[in-house]
Amino acid sequence: MHTDDHSSDELESYQHSSSEQAKPAVISELTLHRYQIPLSPTLPVATQRIDQRFGLIVSAKLDDGRSERVEISPLSGQDVEGKILTGFSKETLEQVITSLELDLPQLISKPLTELTTLAEKIDLPSAAFGLSLLALKFNPAFQYAHVDHRKIGLFYYQAEMTDEALTARINALPLRTYAIKVKVAQAEIEQEIRFIHQILAINPKLKLRLDANQGFSAEQAIEFLACLPKTSIEYIEEPCNTLEQNLHVYQALKIPFALDETLNDAHYQFTMLDGLAALILKPMIIGHTNKLSQLIETATENGVRCILSSSLEANLGIQDLATLAALLTPDEIPGLDTLASFEKPLIDPSNQLNPQVTQLMSRYTCDS
């Protein structure tokens, strides 16, 4: 497998050229919108479920007429039972709003490079990612990137799903599909083992990327994985909630594992581990695009795959992640198959913000 060892250098060159090209232009307008979109069926966030997705859109116009926008949606808030979501974004949406309403007015009439500077200073990962991405989107290299629109289909056990419905969904996968992602450690072990065997009975050629969201003990993970055909498993994401347990599972079965939730720690530093096959990177949680690209560079130098993954963004964020993946991880299909539950789009077919789900919060211009 060919890996891209130059992702960090390439992204820096994109950002540098973007800054150079945009030097004569200054920011003339910034707007901040809020969105709320119902989800049906509910979406899993580890072992929790959410039935609403909340987030922000920051739009920027330059005095040369160019404009771009980004989604900023920390994966935090409450689940369907009113409990706080744990294990993902540490900041709340309200904290991000407070920060942006303080900082955005200072950017008016300033060069685009000031947007990048602010992204480097801000200590809220979702805002740092969004603002650094907003600056990057003004670069033609981003706008004309060759995006691979293939998806890694997302599956998880649902008691209400019939055998016929599962068969139809598997058979509807694009012909080039070689792997799917399956959420596990969410229902009874026996139910999930049976579910996975059903999938493989329908299409034995599929490779599985299992995602346990740290939901197993080491003993449960070993029991679960031992009941599955090893040759069908690419890796399992975070089977347990400590690296020691993950290593124990690998040593017992030699099934590779990937890191996901571990990367949400702001202090995470890459360390090569026995059995580590991939990093599952959620940019909205990791932060600035420079931090993301440096992590990718270090991991690929050690032969570890890097796969960009959604934090359950709406369609604006998913589109941007697909483009970012084309630039930073061109040899990997990102994990972005999370839009099916969104009852309405954030960006409508005419590429406009959907007024049914968005609300203008603030607009800053040279005249304000």
What is the CATH number for 20?
3.30.390.10
As a residue count, the chain comes to 368
Question: What is the domain-level CATH number for residue 295?
Answer: 3.20.20.120
Look at residue 338 and tell me if it is in a domain.
no
Q: Which domain, by its residues, includes 158? A: 153-328
Residue 136 backbone dihedrals phi, psi, to 5 degrees = -65, -35
DSSP secondary structure letter of residue 187: S
Instruction: Give yes or no: residues 109 and 199 share one domain.
Output: no
What value does the mean pLDDT take over residues 109-115? 95
Question: CB count, 10 Å around CB of 318?
Answer: 21
**For 207-233, what is the mean pLDDT?**
96
Residues 172 and 310 in one domain: yes
Q: Is residue 53 in some structural domain?
A: yes
Identify whether 217 is part of a domain: yes
Specify the 3-state DSSP secondary structure of 66.
coil
Q: pLDDT tens digit string along 66-102?
A: 999 999 999 999 999 999 999 899 999 999 999 999 9
Together in a domain, 309 and 169: yes
In angstroms, the CA 39 to CA 31 distance is 26
Verify that 120 and 161 share a domain, yes or no: no
Regarding whether 139 and 160 lie in a shared domain, the answer is no
**Listed residue (284, 253, 259) closest to 272, CA to CA:** 259
Is 337 domain-assigned?
no
How much is the average pLDDT of 47-64? 96
What is the number of other CB atoms lying within 10 angstroms of the CB of residue 176? 7
pLDDT band with cut points at 50, 70 and 90 for residue 15:
low
322 domain-assigned:
yes
Total structural domains within the chain:
2
Measured over the CA atoms of residue 247, residue 248, residue 251 and residue 252, the dihedral's sign is negative
- pLDDT, tens only, 310-338: 999 999 999 999 999 999 999 999 999 89
CA 333 to CA 234: how far, in whole Å? 14
Q: Could you tell me the pLDDT band of residue 268, with boundaries at 50, 70 and 90?
A: very high
Q: Give the model's confidence band at 175: pLDDT under 50 very low, under 70 low, under 90 confident, else very high.
A: confident
Question: In what helix (H) or strand (E) does residue 209 lie, and over which residues does it extend?
Answer: strand 207-211
Q: Residue 3 — very low, low, confident or very high, per pLDDT cuts 50/70/90?
A: very low
Task: Extract the tokens encoding 109.
Answer: 């009439």
Q: Looking at the structure, do residues 125 and 194 belong to the same domain, yes or no?
A: no
Are 223 and 319 in the same domain?
Answer: yes
- In 267-286, which positions are buried (b, 16+ CB within 10 angstroms) versus exposed (e)? eeebeeeebbbbbbbbbbbb
Q: Supply 309's token pair.
A: 């993954």
Residue 2 is assigned to a structural domain of this protein: no
Amino acid in position 216: F
Please state the rounded mean pLDDT for residues 229-235: 97
Is residue 336 assigned to a domain? no
334 belongs to a structural domain = no
Q: Are residues 309 and 172 in the same domain?
A: yes
Three-state secondary structure string covering 167-184 = HHHHHCCCCCCCEEEEEC
In terms of domains, do 42 and 86 share one? yes
Q: Please provide the average confidence, as pLDDT, over all residues in the chain.
A: 92
> Are 178 and 269 part of one and the same domain?
yes
pLDDT category, 26, cuts 50, 70, 90? Answer: very high
Q: How confident is the model at residue 23 (pLDDT cuts 50, 70, 90)?
A: low
What 3-state DSSP class applies to 152? Answer: coil
- The predicted pLDDT at position 9 comes to 56
Beta bridge partners of 148: none
186 in the same domain as 96: no
**Percentage of residues of the chain with pLDDT beyond 70:** 93
Same domain, 300 and 165: yes
pLDDT digit string, tens, across residues 130-151: 999 999 999 998 989 999 888 8
Q: Is residue 2 scored above 80 in pLDDT?
A: no
Query: Of the candidates 307, 334, 293, 316, which has an alpha carbon nearest to the alpha carbon of residue 15?
Result: 293
pLDDT of residue 151: 83
